[in-house]
Amino acid sequence: MWLQREITLEPRPRGFHLVTGEVEQALPELSQLDVGLCHLFIRHTSASLSLNENASPDVRRDFETWFDAAVPEDFRGWTHTLEGPDDMPAHVKAMLNGVSLHVPVVAGKLALGTWQGIYLVEHRRKPHSREVIFQFIGSRKA
């Protein structure tokens, strides 16, 4: 079976946000699925999707600190500065993190590891609503 639809993630400030619960709530169909693959695709160039540690808020803060240091707003090479000092760093961070997420489904649940959670990463200072296309391919429960 094939399932495709769009979900909207609410605006969030810049940072690494744990959204596993919000994603699962937006996908009531999950419980009816058996095995297969979920694909989440964020339709933006300055926000990204990723998977990482789901417990400690300090991990998510440290991610932000490292990315801000690695892709600084005051990097001297930027020429695309018309949209603000956070725009070009947002594009680079989004490329490093990626816009597609793939999670196996096993017995009607996202088969995340014990410590894995879904991150929405907002790279702009100003919160934006973010559109995500959800797709599932696999089998439905008997």
> Where on the chain is the footprint of a copy of itself (CB under 8 A)?
2, 4, 35-37, 39, 41-45, 50-53, 56, 58-59, 61-63, 65-66, 69-71, 75, 77-80, 88, 91-92, 94-104, 106, 111-116, 131, 133, 135, 137-139
Which C-beta is closer to a copy of itself: that of 84 or that of 95?
95
Strand order in the sheet with 116-122: 15-18, 116-122, 47-53
Q: What is the nearest approach in angstroms of a copy of itself to the Cβ of residue 129?
A: 12
1/41 Cα distance (integer angstroms): 19
* Identity of residue 40: L
Q: What is the nearest approach in angstroms of a copy of itself to the Cβ of residue 123?
A: 12
Q: What is the nearest approach in angstroms of a copy of itself to the Cβ of residue 75?
A: 7
Instruction: Count CB-CB contacts under 10 A for residue 18.
Output: 17
Query: Where would I find the H helices in the chain?
Result: 20-25, 57-70, 87-97
Which C-beta is closer to a copy of itself: that of 10 or that of 58?
58
